[in-house]
C-alpha cells in the first residue's frame, strides 16, 4: 500500500518539477512545438468540442473576481485553440454562452457581453490567431438574443475571417442543443414543404440524415464530432451538441458493413477548471483518440 | 517523419505506464460506496442504463450479461425506490429477448412475486398529428405497416416486502428502448409535423423547443432520465477508449448525469489478452454489479446541478 503510493507521489513530483522547469525556461515553446509535432505524426481528430466550464469556480478558488475568471478562461481558449491548430484539427467548437446563461446576474451577463464583443474582434483582427492559422469563425446560436453591439461585433468578426478555409472555429453562443435541433427540424419541414408542393414523398424522405444536414453547425461546414471535452469535473452534457455526441454505430453488424473509422464521439469529463486547462490535459485526450483509431483499424484488418 | 513516429510510440508507451500506475493506485485507494439502502441526499427519479455489447464476444455471452444486468437493475431500483428505469442497447438485444425480462420473478421467492402488469408499445408518431394526439394505442397487427417499434413500457408492480420506504417505492416503470427511439424518432416526429403542416399550407412553420418537447417527452414520448449508467460488457477493453453514447436518444440527455465505471476487471483484461475469445469472454464479460450500482448512486447524490446559473 505504501510503496505504490510513494512511488506515484515521486512520479507526480517529478512531472511537476519537469512542468515547472518547462514553464520557467525559454524552452517551453520549443518543447511544446516538439511534442505537438510528435503527436501530429499519428491520427488526429477532425472536430473537437469543448464545454468551457469552471471559470467561476476557478476564480473563487484563486480569490479572484468572477470577471477575471472569465478573462482567464479566454486566455485558456487561445492556448487550447493554438494547440489544436498546430495539430491540424480541422474544426474546434466551444460552448461560450448558453441560452440559459441569460439567467445569471445582470452584472455578470453584461461583463460577459463586453468580453464577447472585445475578444471576438481581437481574435479575428489582422495578424491575430485566426488570421495566422487561416481559421474561419462561425458564431453558432441565436445571436438575435444578444444586445445590438454584440450582434454587430459578431457580423464584423465573421466577415473578417470569411475567406479563411484551413480550419473552423465554432463559437457557440447563445446556444443550446435543443434549440439547434428544433431549428433543424423546422428548416427540414420547410424545405420539404417548399420542394414537393403536393408530393408526399419529399416528406416521407425526411430521415435523421436530413435533420443532421440542417443543423446549424453542420451547415457551416463542421465535420462529424470526434471528441467532446467537458472540464471542471461535471459529468453532464448540459445541452451541448447532444445530437452530435450520440451517433450510432452498430457493434454487432459492423463486420458486415463498410467500416468507417471513428464515427463515434469520445466524451471526456476532465477535472481541471477551464482556465487551467492546457497542453498536459489535452495530450492524454489525443493519445486516447489515437489508440482507439489504431485499435479499430486493427480490429477491422484482423476481421478481413 | 520516422523519427516523429518513433517518438510517438515512445510517448504512448510512457503514457501507458503512467495510466497503469495511476489506475493501480486508484484501485487500491478507491472508497467503498455506501450500502444500497443507505439514505442518500438525492436518488434519481429516472435511471437509464446504456449497455455496450462487445464485438469479440459471442452473442450468447452478450445477451446473458445484458439480460442479467437488466434483471438486477430492476430489483435494485425497486429496493432504492427509483420509479422509472430505461434500458438501451444499440443492437436491440434487450428488445429481442423481452420474454426473459417478463420472467423476472425468478429473482424473488415465490411469496413476493412481482407482476408485469401491462405492456404498452410505443410507435414512432407516423400517423398524422391529429391522430397521434389522441390517446390511441396501436394494435400490434399494424406493426408491419408502421415499421419498427420505438420503445416498450412495462409496469412492474412492487414485491410486498419493499414497500416500507414510501408509498410508491417498489413499483417500477421499465422502458425498453430501441434504436428507433433515438434519432429515427425525431425524424418520424418531423415527418408527422410536416404532414400536418401540409394541410394548413398557408401558415409558415414555426416550432419551439416546448412543442418538440411535448412531442418527444409528452404523453406518448419518452421522459428524460436524470441519471445514466454506462455499462460496457467488456469493461477492460472499453477502459482503453473514452465514454461514448452509442446513439442513446439525444433529445432526452440534456441534463443527464453520466456514470461509467472504468476500473472493473482491468488487470484480468490485461493479463488474459492471449486467450482465445470464447475463453476470455466467459472470464471477462461482466454484468452490472451491486458495487457499481451503489457507487453510481453515490456519484449522483454528490452531483451539483446549477441549470445554467
Which A-chain residues 157-186 have CB contacts (< 8 A) with chain B?
Answer: 176-179, 181-182, 185-186
Distance CA A47, CA A88 (A): 10
Q: Is A63 on the interface with B (CB under 8 A)?
A: no
Confidence of residue B121 (pLDDT cuts 50, 70, 90): low
Instruction: Confirm whether A7 is domain-assigned.
Output: no
Q: Taking 80 as the threshold, does the pLDDT of residue B116 lie above it?
A: no
CA of A40: how far to CAs of A45, A80, A87, A117, B7, in Å? 10, 15, 5, 33, 11
Q: Taking 50 as the threshold, does the pLDDT of residue B72 lie above it?
A: yes
**Cell digits for A182?**
428544433
CB A36 within 8 A of CB A87: yes
Query: What mean pLDDT value characterizes chain A?
Result: 88
pLDDT for B154 equals 84
H or E, element range at A192: helix A177-195
Q: Which of A95-99, B34-38, B105-109 has the highest mean pLDDT?
A: A95-99
Q: Taking 60 as the threshold, does the pLDDT of residue A288 lie above it?
A: yes
Nearest to A179 by CA among A187, A190, A191: A187
- Cβ contact (<8 Å) for B256 and A236? yes
Structural domain harbouring A178: 44-302
Confidence of residue A249 (pLDDT cuts 50, 70, 90): low
CB B264 within 8 A of CB B306: no
Q: What region, left, alpha or beta, does residue B247 occupy, with left being phi > 0 and alpha being psi -120 to 50 degrees?
A: left
Q: Taking 80 as the threshold, does the pLDDT of residue B219 lie above it?
A: no
Nearest to B155 by CA among B85, B73, B225: B85
Give me the mean pLDDT over the A189-195 stretch: 88
Give me the mean pLDDT over the B233-239 stretch: 65
Give me the mean pLDDT over the B208-216 stretch: 91
Give me the mean pLDDT over the B291-309 stretch: 83
pLDDT for A5 equals 75
- Cβ contact (<8 Å) for A206 and B190? yes
Orientation angle between helical segments A27-39 and B2-29, nearest 10 degrees: 100
Distance CA B237, CA B267 (A): 11
Give me the mean pLDDT over the A31-41 stretch: 91
* Higher local confidence (pLDDT), B92 or A175: A175
CB B115 within 8 A of CB B75: no
Q: Give me the residue from B91, B207, B242 closest to A288, CB to CB.
A: B242
pLDDT for B277 equals 62
Instruction: Confirm whether A110 is domain-assigned.
Output: yes
Mutate to test the interface with A, among B198, B201, B236, B297 (most CBs of A within 10 A): B198
Q: A224 has which bridge partners?
A: none
Distance CA B218, CA A303 (A): 44
How many residues belong to chain B?
Answer: 309
Give me the mean pLDDT over the B89-113 stretch: 66
Confidence of residue A262 (pLDDT cuts 50, 70, 90): very low
Confidence of residue B261 (pLDDT cuts 50, 70, 90): confident
CA atoms within 13 A on the CB side of A14: 7
Instruction: Confirm whether A151 is domain-assigned.
Output: yes
Confidence of residue A36 (pLDDT cuts 50, 70, 90): very high
Q: Give me the residue from A37, A176, A203 closest to B191, CB to CB.
A: A203
Confidence of residue A274 (pLDDT cuts 50, 70, 90): very high
Residue positions of A annotated with a catalytic role: 53, 101
SS3 at position A26: coil
pLDDT for A111 equals 93
CA of B30: how far to CAs of A14, A272, B33, B235, in Å? 24, 20, 9, 17
CB A114 within 8 A of CB A71: no
Instruction: Confirm whether A15 is domain-assigned.
Output: no
How many residues belong to chain A?
Answer: 304
* Higher local confidence (pLDDT), B57 or B67: B67
Any idea which of A29-38, A182-191, B268-277 has the lowest mean pLDDT?
B268-277
Which residues of chain B lie closer than 8 angstroms to A254, CB-CB?
55
Instruction: Confirm whether A160 is domain-assigned.
Output: yes
Instruction: Confirm whether A33 is domain-assigned.
Output: no
- Please count the residue pairs, one from chain A and one from chain B, whose beta carbons lie less than 8 angstroms apart: 208
Confidence of residue B146 (pLDDT cuts 50, 70, 90): very low
Which residues of chain A lie closer than 8 angstroms to B192, CB-CB?
none
**pLDDT tens, residue by residue, B161-197:** 444 444 445 688 899 998 888 999 999 999 989 888 8
- Cβ contact (<8 Å) for B12 and A204? no
Confidence of residue B276 (pLDDT cuts 50, 70, 90): low
Confidence of residue A3 (pLDDT cuts 50, 70, 90): low
pLDDT for A252 equals 40
Q: Is A268 on the interface with B (CB under 8 A)?
A: yes
Phi, psi of B141, deg, nearest 5: -65, -25
pLDDT for A166 equals 95
**Cell digits for A163?**
475567406
DSSP assigned state of A98: B
Q: Is A118 on the interface with B (CB under 8 A)?
A: no
Q: Is A107 on the interface with B (CB under 8 A)?
A: no
Burial label for A250, CB within 10 Å (0-12, 13-18, 19+), is middle
User: Sheet harboring A266-269: ordered strands across?
Assistant: A135-140, A167-172, A91-95, A47-51, A227-230, A266-269
Q: Is A239 on the interface with B (CB under 8 A)?
A: yes
Q: A227 has which bridge partners?
A: A48, A266
Q: Taking 80 as the threshold, does the pLDDT of residue B243 lie above it?
A: yes
Nearest to A83 by CA among A284, A242, A295, A269: A284
Confidence of residue A251 (pLDDT cuts 50, 70, 90): very low
The three-point CA angle A244-A248-A254 to 5° equals 140
Domain count, chain A: 1
Q: Give me the residue from A208, A269, A295 closest to B186, CB to CB.
A: A208
Distance CA A89, CA A47 (A): 6
Contacts (Cβ under 8 Å, ≥6 apart) of A84: A48, A92
Tell me the DSSP string of chain B.
-HHHHHHHHHHHHHHHHHHHHHHHHHHHHPPPPPPTTS--S---SEEEEEEE--TTS-HHHHHHHHHHHHHHHHHHHHHHT--EEEEEETT-HHHHTHHHHHTGGGGS-GGG---EEEEEEE--S-S-HHHHHS--PPPGGGHHHH-S--EEEEEEPPPGGGTTS-TTTT-EEEEEE-GGGSHHHHHHHHHHHHHHHHHTTTSPP---HHHHHHHHHSTTS-PPPSEEEEEESSHHHHTTS-B--TT--SGGGTT-EEEE---TTHHHHHHTTTS-HHHHHHHH--PPPHHHHHHHHHHHHH----TT-
Can you give the CATH number for the domain in which A221 is found? 3.40.1180.10
Confidence of residue B47 (pLDDT cuts 50, 70, 90): very high
Give me the mean pLDDT over the A16-36 stretch: 79
- Cβ contact (<8 Å) for B258 and A101? no
Instruction: Confirm whether A78 is domain-assigned.
Output: yes
Phi, psi of B92, deg, nearest 5: 55, 30
Nearest to B19 by CA among A284, A286, A141, A248: A284
pLDDT for A188 equals 93
SS3 at position A87: coil
Which residues of chain B lie closer than 8 angstroms to A248, CB-CB?
90, 179, 182-183, 246-247
Instruction: Confirm whether A19 is domain-assigned.
Output: no
Which residues of chain A lie closer than 8 angstroms to B242, CB-CB?
266-268, 285, 288, 292
**pLDDT tens, residue by residue, A125-145:** 988 999 999 999 999 999 999
ipTM: 0.85
Q: Give me the residue from A104, A200, A266 closest to B241, CB to CB.
A: A266
Give me the mean pLDDT over the A5-17 stretch: 83
Q: Give me the residue from B184, B186, B198 closest to A185, CB to CB.
A: B186
Percent of chain A with pLDDT over 90: 71
CB atoms within 10 A of CB A268: 19
Distance CA A157, CA A76 (A): 20
Any idea which of B71-85, B238-252, B276-290 has the lowest mean pLDDT?
B276-290
Q: For residue B1, what is the nearest residue in chain A, using CA coordinates?
A: A41
Any idea which of A187-201, A259-273, B29-43, B259-273 has the lowest mean pLDDT?
B259-273
Smallest Cα distance from B257 to chain A, Å: 5
The helix/strand count (H/E) of chain A reads as: 13, 6
Q: Taking 90 as the threshold, does the pLDDT of residue A168 lie above it?
A: yes
**CA A302, B2, B8, B13 torsion: positive or negative?**
positive
**pLDDT tens, residue by residue, A144-163:** 999 999 999 999 999 999 99
Give me the mean pLDDT over the B87-92 stretch: 89
Q: Taking 70 as the threshold, does the pLDDT of residue B20 lie above it?
A: yes
Confidence of residue B131 (pLDDT cuts 50, 70, 90): very low
pLDDT for A185 equals 95
pLDDT for B21 equals 85
Amino acid at each position: 500500500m505504501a510503496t505504490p503510493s510513494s512511488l506515484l507521489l515521486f512520479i507526480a513530483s517529478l512531472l511537476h518539477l519537469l512542468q515547472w522547469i518547462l514553464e520557467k525556461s525559454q524552452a517551453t515553446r520549443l518543447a511544446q512545438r516538439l511534442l505537438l509535432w510528435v503527436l501530429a505524426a499519428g491520427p488526429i481528430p477532425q472536430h473537437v468540442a469543448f464545454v468551457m466550464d469552471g471559470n467561476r469556480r476557478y476564480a473563487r478558488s484563486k480569490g479572484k473576481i468572477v470577471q477575471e475568471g472569465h478573462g482567464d478562461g479566454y486566455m485558456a481558449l487561445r492556448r487550447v485553440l493554438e494547440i489544436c491548430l498546430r495539430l491540424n484539427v480541422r474544426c474546434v467548437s466551444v460552448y461560450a454562452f448558453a441560452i440559459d446563461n441569460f439567467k445569471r446576474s445582470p452584472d455578470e451577463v453584461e461583463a460577459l457581453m463586453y468580453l464577447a464583443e472585445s475578444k471576438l474582434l481581437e481574435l479575428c483582427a489582422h495578424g491575430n490567431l485566426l488570421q495566422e492559422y487561416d481559421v474561419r469563425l462561425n458564431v453558432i446560436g441565436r445571436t438575435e438574443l444578444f444586445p445590438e453591439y454584440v450582434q454587430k461585433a459578431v457580423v464584423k468578426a465573421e466577415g473578417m475571417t470569411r475567406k479563411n478555409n484551413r480550419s473552423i472555429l465554432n463559437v457557440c453562443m447563445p446556444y443550446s442543443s435543443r434549440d439547434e435541433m428544433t431549428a433543424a427540424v423546422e428548416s427540414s419541414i420547410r424545405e420539404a414543404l417548399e420542394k414537393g408542393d403536393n408530393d408526399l414523398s419529399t416528406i416521407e424522405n425526411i430521415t435523421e440524415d436530413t435533420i443532421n444536414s440542417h443543423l446549424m453547425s453542420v451547415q457551416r461546414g463542421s465535420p462529424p464530432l470526434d471528441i467532446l471535452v467537458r472540464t471542471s469535473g461535471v459529468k453532464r452534457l448540459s445541452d451541448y451538441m447532444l445530437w452530435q455526441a450520440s451517433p450510432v454505430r452498430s457493434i454487432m453488424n459492423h463486420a458486415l458493413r463498410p467500416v468507417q473509422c471513428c464515427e463515434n464521439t469520445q466524451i471526456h469529463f476532465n477535472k481541471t477548471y477551464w482556465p487551467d486547462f492546457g497542453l498536459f490535459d489535452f495530450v492524454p485526450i489525443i493519445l486516447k483518440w489515437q489508440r482507439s483509431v489504431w485499435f479499430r483499424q486493427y480490429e477491422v484488418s484482423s476481421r478481413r | 517523419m520516422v523519427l516523429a513516429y518513433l517518438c510517438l510510440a515512445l510517448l504512448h508507451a510512457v503514457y501507458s505506464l503512467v495510466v497503469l500506475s495511476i489506475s493501480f493506485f486508484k484501485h487500491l485507494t478507491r472508497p467503498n460506496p455506501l450500502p444500497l439502502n443507505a439514505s442518500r441526499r438525492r436518488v434519481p427519479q429516472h435511471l437509464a442504463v446504456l449497455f455496450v455489447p462487445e464485438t469479440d464476444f459471442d452473442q450468447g455471452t452478450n445477451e446473458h450479461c445484458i439480460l442479467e444486468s437488466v434483471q438486477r437493475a430492476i430489483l435494485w431500483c425497486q429496493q432504492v425506490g427509483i420509479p422509472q428505469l430505461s434500458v438501451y442497447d444499440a443492437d436491440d438485444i434487450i428488445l429481442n429477448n423481452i420474454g426473459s425480462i417478463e420472467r423476472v420473478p425468478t429473482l424473488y421467492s415465490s411469496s413476493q412475486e412481482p407482476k408485469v402488469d401491462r405492456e404498452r408499445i410505443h410507435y414512432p408518431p407516423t400517423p398524422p398529428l391529429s391522430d397521434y394526439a389522441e390517446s390511441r394505442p396501436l394494435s400490434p397487427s399494424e406493426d408491419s405497416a408502421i415499421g419498427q417499434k420505438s420503445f416498450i413500457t412495462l409496469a412492474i408492480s412492487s414485491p410486498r416486502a419493499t414497500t416500507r420506504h414510501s408509498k410508491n417505492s417498489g413499483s417500477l416503470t421499465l422502458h425498453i428502448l430501441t434504436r428507433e427511439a433515438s434519432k429515427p424518432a425525431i425524424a418520424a416526429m418531423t415527418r408527422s409535423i410536416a404532414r400536418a403542416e401540409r394541410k394548413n399550407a398557408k401558415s409558415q412553420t414555426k416550432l419551439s423547443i416546448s412543442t418538440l418537447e411535448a412531442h418527444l417527452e409528452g404523453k406518448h414520448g419518452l421522459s428524460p432520465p436524470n441519471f445514466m449508467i454506462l455499462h460496457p460488457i467488456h469493461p477492460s477493453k472499453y477502459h482503453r477508449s473514452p465514454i461514448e453514447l452509442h446513439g442513446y436518444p439525444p433529445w432526452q440527455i440534456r441534463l443527464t448525469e453520466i456514470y461509467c465505471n472504468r476500473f472493473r476487471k482491468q488487470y484480468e483484461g490485461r493479463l488474459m489478452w492471449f486467450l482465445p475469445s470464447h475463453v476470455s469472454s466467459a472470464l471477462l464479460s461482466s454484468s452490472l454489479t451491486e458495487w457499481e450500482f451503489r457507487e453510481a448512486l453515490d456519484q449522483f447524490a454528490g452531483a451539483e446541478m446549477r441549470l445554467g446559473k
